[in-house]
Amino acid sequence: MEGYDSKSGVTEHYVARPAGNESDKSSGAASTHGAPEVTGINQDTATMPTVEEVQASKKGWFAYFKTRDFYIVLVLGQILALCITSTNTFSSLLVEQGTSIPAFQTFFNYVLLNIIYTSFTLYRYGFKRWCRLLLKDGWKYIILSFLDVQGNYFFVLAYRYTTILSAQLINFFAIVTVVIISFIFLRVRYHITQIFGILICIGGVGILIGSDHITGATSSDGISKGNQVKGDLFALVGATCYGISNVVEEFLVSKRPLYEVVGQLGFWGMIWNGAQAGIFDKDQFRTATWNSKVGGYLTGFTLILSLFYSLAPIMFRLSSAAFFNISLLTGNFWGVCIGVKVFHLSIHWMYPIAFVCIVGGLLVYFVGKKVLGEATKPWLGQNQEQGVAGVGTARRRVVRGDTVV
């Protein structure tokens, strides 16, 4: 667990105890930055096992496969893939209705996140400590929200010029961005099986591209070649912004409570997104089609995207930004499955092969991983002492045993 000394600017780590017991803080500690994410841990830090001891509880190349966390990560990854595929589908449906408002479309997502998570943060921290958070750490969340807003903006904008399949295929570039930035700035070192797993997943995407080329699925009536190139470039910029923001968010949620990070993302994202919508979307807003279908599509888009934003931080804690992104590659398969009914697409025989290939890559990625998998972050110290003991973190597993939530 961690608290924050507002006078000295020093982060302190302690174990939270049930109500009525005094927390074990270090000497000279001042008021905390906010209430801890985890409460009810009644265990002295001297008796807690180390990360190394927890890792040694199961041995072998498939040690992580024997844990509950492995299956949670796999299922959570596919839920997130379905969420992002659903929002992509809603974006395409809005374009079909004549409504292309990329900035305004995502505005309500940030508003909803702000209402839910900032309200809870205020409840836990109090107004004064929340203001102190803005002054001390606000710049970090401003950067995170800017990257996230641009990722959403350019990806939604891409659907004005290109097809749903083409835009989804470009999304794999976010993986390259994540791996490079994590390696350079977060000192993440990838095992050979992780690199091999990523390459297998990308190979699966290659099979999808091949099948789309054979069937002509990436072409679309009414979209010129020039516009499709423009749309693909927008999708590429969006994927790059997504990749950078994923790494930044993984870093922040490993150190701070989940509700603080998502609340700040919603707060600053709402401001960035609102300003951008007022500047770039005012003409499209006036000419857009507004009917009950558009209202329904916007509502569905907002609710599913908010669910995605709520689950993604847990994924970053349990695994990593890299695995998060390769998990989303199966969204190409789910997108076609949805497109069969919604956009009258056809499934080529190579699609199931590609799906199996991507899932196989996800499995290979974790071969050789120990019990805690990727939940141990190299920037948090040998015993994860610089991290928060929140939902899905390795530190929580150490202080509470075989616990995820």
Q: In terms of DSSP H, where are the helices of 186-257?
A: 192-215, 225-255
pLDDT value of residue 282: 83
| Cβ–Cβ under 8 Å, residues 312 and 242 | no
Sequence-separated (6 or more) residues with CB below 8 Å from residue 47: none
- Going residue by residue through the chain, which has 405 residues, state the pLDDT in tens, using 9 for 90 and above: 444 444 444 444 433 433 343 333 333 333 444 445 653 344 455 567 788 888 878 888 889 999 999 999 999 999 999 998 898 889 888 988 888 888 888 899 999 999 999 999 999 999 999 999 999 999 999 999 999 999 888 887 887 777 666 666 676 788 989 999 999 999 999 999 999 999 999 888 788 777 766 766 555 555 555 677 888 888 889 889 999 999 999 999 999 999 999 999 999 999 999 999 888 888 888 888 899 999 999 999 999 999 999 999 999 999 999 999 999 888 877 877 777 777 676 777 888 888 899 999 999 999 989 888 999 999 999 889 999 999 999 998 887 766 555
Q: For the segment 301-348, what is each residue's pLDDT rounded down to a tens digit?
A: 999 999 999 999 999 999 999 999 999 888 877 877 777 777 676 777
Gap between the terminal Cα atoms of the chain: 15
Residue 285, judged by CB atoms within 10 A of its CB (0-12, 13-18, 19+), counts as middle
Distances (CA, A) of 6 to 29, 34, 123, 131, 132: 10, 10, 18, 12, 8
Nearest partner of 323 among 293, 379, 280, 363, judged by Cα: 363
Its pTM stands at 0.83
Q: Return the pLDDT at 16.
A: 41
**Residues 12-21: pLDDT tens digits?**
443 343 334 3
Sign, Cα dihedral of 199, 86, 290, 340: positive
pLDDT for 348 equals 73
What integer pLDDT is reported at residue 337 of this predicted model?
Answer: 77
CA Rg value for the chain? 22
